[in-house]
């Protein structure tokens, strides 16, 4: 679907924002300079009639994003968690996008279930409600299993959602190409790679079989986490366009009035959201990457219940250690070490000055530490961080996009619960504990043990591998039987030595 027609899509995006009255709100929220405001007015006002009308009953920005399509709605969902960036008015408007979008009929959902699973919905479910929540990609129904009477949630994809997302993402690819062509200074942000990354994420989110698998894995890795729950998957009633999981009773995490009325401690909840996310990211390297208020509930005992596992993040052990060292450096105000870690990981080009970079990071960190969160303008902090990345030629790390984005969203959720939350105070102990166990002598022994396990696995193949290497290099081999006997002994010796290292390391750990 990619082609010049996407230019029209981008034009209509601007026209829709102008027609709905959202353009001014967006420019105000991001403190756009006067010149940009004038340009937007000159270019947008004459062509506003080209924009989608949307639902006049909705607030301006919600109306525009809903009319533009699911990819734009996803963007709005992220912004809804950041009142400190877009302002309270816009954040309130955008929160409607999380789970209060117009639903499609329950009859269509039933037909999808019958077609996808090959079962009669009336036979599978004793009850099947009207939609109780409708988001950008799917909607949810409450049902009761005919076999057990258990209450479940049934998630069904919106009709035609795959094509709608494809259309939006194609326009984003065009926007990325335009940035590449006409804004060379922004190429270090790798706009094409960023869009490709999110394209892959969206494709995964549109296959509910993958979401079911993700939920199952996430439940397994977090089953021992106190104060956190993941509903179980009902596998025989789940497929590509339908997912059935256990029902989660609780209050919406974004409804502060209801939380207060129930006597729940919002300060504690704000701390738990941050702690749980960081534990999952650092400890497991597998985390919920769409943790906005619409995907979180609070049980009567204060447990946080997560659902909607279409976007999950994964980071390897090396990246986790880098990320933890950066956070640890900020917690200790060791900006020089933070800078060094960036250079060691290759996040900053080697020709840059590490001391200058450390001073730039200090300018980011110092105004935040010890200050009431209500006095911190995250929009200005993010703007300055962008200036720093541009000044030092830092390229976008596509492997960290989900982690960084989720960190922003989670902090926004925590702030919405407790405007005075300090992310460094809450996460400091978790990062310190991770550094203690994953960086240093103990981590070295763990790495040696893992290496030894690999050696023991490949030990029996060493004779064949080395003999093949010798032959390939045209070296005159010794007497074949003697060589084989020697290599077999060496391979077994390597396996035994590896096993001894594993046992020693595990004893020390």
Residues whose CB is less than 8 angstroms from the CB of residue 241 and which lie 6 or more positions away in sequence, other chains included: 112, 116, 156, 157, 208
| Residue 174 to residue 163: CA distance in whole angstroms | 17
CB-facing half-sphere around the CA of 497: CA atoms within 13 A: 12
DSSP secondary structure string for all residues of 339-407: HHHHHHTTSS-TTS-HHHHHHHHHHHHTTTTTS-GGG--HHHHHHHHHHHHHHTTPPP-GGGHHHHHHH
| CB neighbourhood size of 331 (10 A) | 21
Query: What is the rounded distance in angstroms from the CA atom of residue 348 to the CA atom of residue 362?
Result: 16
CA distance 334 to 318: 21
DSSP 54-95: --TTS-HHHHHHHHH-HHHHHHHHHHTT-HHHH-HHHHHHHT
Residues whose CB is less than 8 angstroms from the CB of residue 463 and which lie 6 or more positions away in sequence, other chains included? 484, 487, 488, 490, 491
Q: Indicate if 99 belongs to the active site.
A: no
Q: Going by DSSP bridges, is the β-strand pair 304-306/228-229 parallel, antiparallel, or unpaired? A: parallel
Catalytic residue among 207, 290, 316, 355: 290
- Give the C-alpha separation, 18 to 40, whole Å: 9
- Burial of residue 322 (CB within 10 Å: 0-12, 13-18, 19+) is buried
CB neighbour list of residue 279: distance below 8 Å, 6 or more residues apart: 225, 430
Phi, psi of 340 (to 5 degrees): -60, -40
Buried b (16+ CB within 10 A) or exposed e, 53-62: ebeeebbbbb
Asked if residue 157 lies in contact with residue 206, where contact means CB atoms within 8 angstroms, the answer is: yes
**Residue whose C-alpha is closest to residue 434's, from 348, 338, 317:** 317
Q: Rounded distance, CA 400 to CA 319, Å?
A: 9
As a whole number of Å, the end-to-end CA separation of the chain is 55
Catalytic residues: 290
């Amino acid at each position: 679907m990619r082609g010049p027609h996407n230019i029209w899509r981008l034009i209509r995006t601007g026209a829709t924002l102008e027609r709905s009255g959202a353009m001014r709100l967006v420019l105000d929220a991001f403190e756009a300079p006067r010149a940009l405001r004038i340009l937007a007015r000159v270019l947008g006002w004459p062509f506003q009639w080209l924009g989608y009308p949307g639902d006049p009953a909705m607030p301006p920005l919600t109306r525009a994003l809903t009319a533009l399509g699911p990819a734009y709605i996803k963007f709005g969902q992220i912004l809804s968690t950041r009142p400190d960036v877009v302002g309270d008015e816009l954040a309130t408007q955008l929160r409607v996008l999380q789970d209060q979008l117009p639903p499609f009929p329950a009859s269509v959902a039933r037909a999808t279930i019958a077609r996808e699973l090959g079962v009669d919905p009336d036979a599978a479910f004793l009850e099947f409600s009207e939609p109780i929540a409708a988001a950008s990609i799917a909607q949810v129904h409450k049902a009761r299993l005919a076999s057990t009477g258990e209450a479940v949630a049934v998630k069904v994809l919106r009709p035609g959602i795959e094509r709608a997302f494809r259309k939006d993402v194609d326009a984003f690819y065009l926007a990325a190409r335009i940035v590449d062509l006409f804004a060379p200074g922004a190429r270090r942000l790798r706009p094409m790679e960023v869009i490709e990354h999110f394209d892959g994420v969206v494709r995964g989110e549109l296959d509910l079989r993958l979401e079911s698998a993700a939920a199952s894995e996430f439940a397994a890795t977090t089953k021992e986490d106190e104060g956190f729950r993941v509903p179980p998957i009902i596998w025989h009633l789940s497929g590509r366009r339908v997912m059935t999981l256990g029902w989660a009773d609780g209050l919406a995490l974004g409804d502060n009035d209801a939380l207060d009325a129930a006597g729940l401690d919002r300060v504690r909840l704000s701390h738990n959201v941050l702690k749980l996310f960081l534990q999952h990211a650092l400890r497991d390297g597998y985390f919920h990457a769409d943790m906005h208020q619409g995907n979180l509930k609070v049980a009567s005992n204060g447990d946080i219940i997560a659902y909607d596992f279409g976007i999950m993040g994964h980071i390897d052990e090396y990246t986790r250690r880098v990320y933890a060292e950066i956070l640890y450096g900020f917690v200790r105000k060791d900006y020089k070490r933070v800078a060094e870690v960036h250079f060691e990981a290759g996040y900053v080009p080697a020709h840059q000055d590490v001391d200058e970079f450390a001073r730039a990071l200090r300018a980011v960190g110092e105004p935040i530490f010890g200050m009431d969160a209500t006095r911190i303008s995250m929009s200005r902090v993010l703007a300055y961080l962008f200036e720093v990345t541009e000044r030092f030629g830092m390229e976008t790390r596509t492997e960290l996009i989900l982690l960084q984005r989720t960190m922003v969203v989670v902090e926004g959720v925590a702030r919405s619960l407790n405007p005075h939350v300090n992310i460094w105070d809450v996460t400091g102990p978790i990062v310190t504990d991770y550094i203690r166990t994953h960086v240093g002598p103990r981590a070295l022994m763990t790495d040696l043990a893992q290496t030894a396990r690999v050696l023991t696995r490949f030990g029996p193949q060493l004779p064949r591998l080395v003999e093949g290497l010798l032959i390939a290099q045209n070296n005159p081999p010794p007497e074949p039987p003697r060589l084989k006997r020697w290599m077999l002994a060496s391979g077994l010796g390597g396996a035994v030595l590896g096993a001894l290292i594993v046992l020693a390391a595990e004893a020390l750990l």
